[in-house]
Structure 1
């Protein structure tokens, strides 16, 4: 691309005049007339564009403009952040920033008010049609025609009426299909001409594409969760999920059948026209002949129709979760006992069913829940339900590895990659988990600088060992776990938004124990039977009042705390009956009227769980200081924000 000094307005103007008058400019054209400009001139002439018109066409029907902008609402929303960020810098820059749709019609424009007013004279405004077949060579239509970024300066425009302008445009691609769906353009008088304007609009186009991808991924995740949480998902295997525009977002249960290579069912393909206005009877008739649907479920997000699940014929029945517990077999070649998830509360049954369906859907899963709820059991459940009984299960605690070593731990390293590296290098967790499950615990603690590498590994399904440039394909099912609110971490800048959407295709919320009702009693008996066998003594009997106390406690440490309490009974009880008087203080009376706030007393009467001890200390100190949280924080040696955070975490009230 030539620099500014290589452009000659006189030479370009002469070449344009010869071209439009004689129709030829190939043999004797000036070297400064770029090939892409000449090609566009030829197309403009073949399309019958009048080089002498003063302006482009404008859509005058306001309703048509409104409908066009509504149809491109997702594109406009994706561009809004970038436009808002640049708008203050365009005020006195003699420049306007334009967003056009896939037909070259302007749907948004901001910038210098004087230039915006001048643009109306040539219909460089909302509703203006800047397709090449309408106005010839220009920074919007030519980009749409070629699919490449371009600038068009002064007399390079085919139509004389717009040759007092300069413009630079870049295509915006659909993140799924990679089709050009719009153009971002920078326009103004000739004096703003700089070739780096192309770099600016190209960067903006990429920013818009990323925003579109995040929006699509979020919508895909929400639709998928809405479907998987429905009763219909339990009874159907062959499923195609489409968004409101009719584009395939997700498919399941067709990999082993005749439809596995059907192009119409590939993710991103537009399988149906826009669903709005179509009845449930219309949709099956519009499917390809080789695709038959025996049922349809419309999916809504916040009450608005946003997509549909199509249930295909010849499906296999999915196993359904029944009963009050779920058993997980020991892993292949691992000496361990069978695991059991106990719980019959609605939230727990839903979480178990969602985990089983996640295993069959082959999607990345984010397991969220408070400390001690048993998130790792759900990761094991997903692994257990995989078709391959010998699939590896590789757990990694992101919080337990230093930020300097976690990259090498995940991706491995080559020989001599860093000081202290093992001779010959080492295989990373990704490679060890190939064809199986990689479980990343405490993913919210992963260093921000490492997150792009994890995202790349998940998207490319390949890794590079540290210090090595060899690409190593991996087929890994990712299960991530956290007790943090990752959306809050995103706002704080601690977690990447794009990685969040990539790992949370499906989110499983494991309920806290206080929300599980009768599950508490079931777990008491379950752990009691376990520890009775382990200690080789008869099962302990719990009185009704003891069970009432256990059921009424808030369990800040969740199932882990309950397990520790039951274990403690088996360690300290000499008789075989647990009564109300055997309860730890925090369970007995929420510390009302108790002034025993010494650490010795707390440890002596507590389950031994660190979080229970911490919650106990906070409650006792609040009582001792009569609810004065400033003094409570001072006594405990923590800041007031930390105290508030811990009170919220342990569900502690001031009074």
Structure 2
């Protein structure tokens, strides 16, 4: 049979005289009895007991631990052990090789090898079967809690408490019930930040142990730490590769922090160039947040510490698995040059006095919407653009027009909600003289004819009267228009872009919108995501509006505090991008010094749960308990109250047309304030 380490040690111990060991053991037992009786040490006890053991006894006395305890009083169940193992997955994986290597030496040794987490809870145990069975009597088994504050002086708990390799022999244990054991525990340190994450312990009957056996456990603990360091090195390499592969330009001067899958900092660069508030307390190993696979960029921004801001947050993946996140920190001073942002630029139309349009965004849903718009332009098919009020649906209509296969084609836009039901038919399809009351004497061509060869954009198509929906369907199917009051067929070649903030499928079920028209206008459907679902795009939009509006008003660039940026990221934005732009515009005009703190933001942003969020006696409700319609109605009602019922100003503030505002007031049965 193979000779093990423990066989050799046992033979050597048997050769030695046991008289000295017995003398020391008896002296320690007498000192323990005397200490328990008096509750303190005297000179005789101090000469008989090692100082580190006496210090532990003193802590046990101060904690009120009973010296007559026979076993640890705490043990967790199998389900909780499974949770603990998942939480300490890296530690368990790193310990596997060392435990497998030592297992053959432990089979008939009388010793067991134990792994605990940072709380002293046993999560793995191997070794001599008889000793494992004996350990169950004192709950020295998987699930048992061996923190010093629970079961007194012991190799596991005292090593955790002191952070040093510790052996506790027989009556050196504070609790009488475990004095028939000897144990040697060594802390396992996290290579990232040198914090204690667990303990490796060797336990068994007193006759198989000597103090120098601690060296064996130290070697096992260091082997585990080396395995952990290799895990972390591979993890860091994977994160750096995922960061480099991101579809955006990397600035070598930007301050970056990489978080692993548990939200801990594993890499940082140029943090000395970050703002003072962002730079503080960013050591390697610090856990900034609890990262889970289902989190979005916005969730990450909201979970960051209040004093930490990030201008960009990237989810880092390997395949489909989330590996971590990259945080780009703001610089020490606001940039005075135009920020480099991810987006699409639309040039002004020929012969039209208008500014350049930029669609800012790089979240997956925005990139998908932009790609759909480009494909729709090339295919020249009807398009339905859906999205909440203020998301920028009209920008996608302009994007499609700008990518049209022909240059300088007409672009005609009509807001179906801004024209009365009696006039919209003539506006769209044209009319002949005397076709209806108010018709022009000489007749008039409609928007379809004006857009011939180009793009016709119908905003808020869900508000089109049902009788005109039939007329529109016939026009699209026949690719020809009939002016009201005239039977002459006028061929047209128009790419129709319909836009709506309504749920047309619900309108179909309610009989307010034709099903066949819905499928006719929705050859390609573009869903523009609401701002609250766009994650890091909020930061980019803030930068964009900050620069463009500050330049427009000849003001200094605004500098947002981390708390202000955190509030902007977590706000629900019922008015979406339009509301964000209006917010930045107000800040540019009102804050001459350029510094924007949390208190400078509108009440609904810095204090969304405020009781004065609602007006007109409407009962307050937490936004987290409201659906989207409820949030929108709250925003409108608040604006009405703020503008004292002036609906023109309300519509201007919210960035919507007056007909849309009137419809929303009717829809939500709001108090108009007059």
Q: TM-score range by the shorter chain?
A: 0.3 to 0.5
TM-score, normalising length from structure 2?
Answer: 0.45
Report which of the two structures shows the higher radius of gyration computed on alpha carbons.
2
TM-score, normalising length from structure 1?
Answer: 0.46
